[in-house]
Amino acid sequence: MSSSATALSEFSNPNLEPLFTAEQIQTRVAEMGAEIARDYAGGTPLLVGVLKGAYIFLSDLVRSIDLRLGVEFMAISSYGMGTRSSGEVRIVKDLDVPVEGRDILIVEDIVDTGLTLSYLIASLHGRGAKSVRLAALLDKWERREREVTIDYCGFRIPDAFVVGYGLDFAERYRNLPYVAVLKDPNA
């Protein structure tokens, strides 16, 4: 790689407006994990991470939940490559295990319109889960179209397109250690 390419920092890209620092996120995620551990004490919840956006949140969250638990992943498509939901929800990767009789905790990066989560929660109930709860790092509450109960919420955020800590724009910025508003998607 050339020296000019390595000099460009992705983490301090001027098109990003930091919203939550890595430290703020770590503190909040640890609190959420402790609360989840208390609530599920004596149980063996199955955490279902929604790919790809929740992968970093999930990996930090599970290390703060001192319980016997399982981890599975689903992939759901609703955005394509843009910054607005298409409204169409599709399971791209399904669970590898049955959920019947299990206490399910869905782990999601962000709840926006709520279309994805209301669909997923209904789908897991329909498969006979004993309980279905939701942990979401970010709640873009102003844009809600479907009512969704977020049992464990990291931060409420304004209506802006955010990236980092697993969240992408066209597959970019997932590796930021913090969450930022993307100022100009066309830049």
- One residue of 78, 95, 130, 141 binding ligand 5GP per CB under 6 A: 78
- 145: Cα within 13 Å, side-chain hemisphere: 10
Instruction: Write down the catalytic residue from 112, 139, 151, 168.
Output: 112
The answer to whether residue 139 forms part of the interface with ligand 5GP (CB under 6 A) is: no
The answer to whether residue 13 forms part of the interface with ligand 5GP (CB under 6 A) is: no
- Contacts to ligand 5GP from residues 108-127, by CB under 6 A: 108-117
Name the residue with tokens 């909040």: 28
Whichever of 129 and 167 has its CB closer to ligand 5GP, that residue is 167
The answer to whether residue 79 forms part of the interface with ligand 5GP (CB under 6 A) is: yes
Site for ligand 5GP (CB under 6 A): how many residues? 22
Single-letter amino acid, residue 101: G
Whichever of 79 and 130 has its CB closer to ligand 5GP, that residue is 79
Q: Is residue 39 flagged as an active site residue?
A: no
Smallest distance from ligand 5GP to CB 123, Å:
13
The answer to whether residue 106 forms part of the interface with ligand 5GP (CB under 6 A) is: no
The answer to whether residue 64 forms part of the interface with ligand 5GP (CB under 6 A) is: no
State the Cα–Cα distance between residues 18 and 106, nearest whole angstrom: 26
Closest CA to 171 of 108, 61, 87, 81: 81
User: Helices 22-39 and 55-62 meet at what angle, rounded to 10?
Assistant: 60
Whichever of 25 and 115 has its CB closer to ligand 5GP, that residue is 115
Secondary structure of residue 151 in the 3-state scheme: coil
Smallest distance from ligand 5GP to CB 151, Å:
16
Single-letter amino acid, residue 156: R
The rounded radius of gyration (Å) of the Cα atoms in the chain is 17
State the Cα–Cα distance between residues 182 and 163, nearest whole angstrom: 6
Q: Provide the token pair at 39.
A: 């609530």
The answer to whether residue 155 forms part of the interface with ligand 5GP (CB under 6 A) is: no
Residues designated catalytic: 112
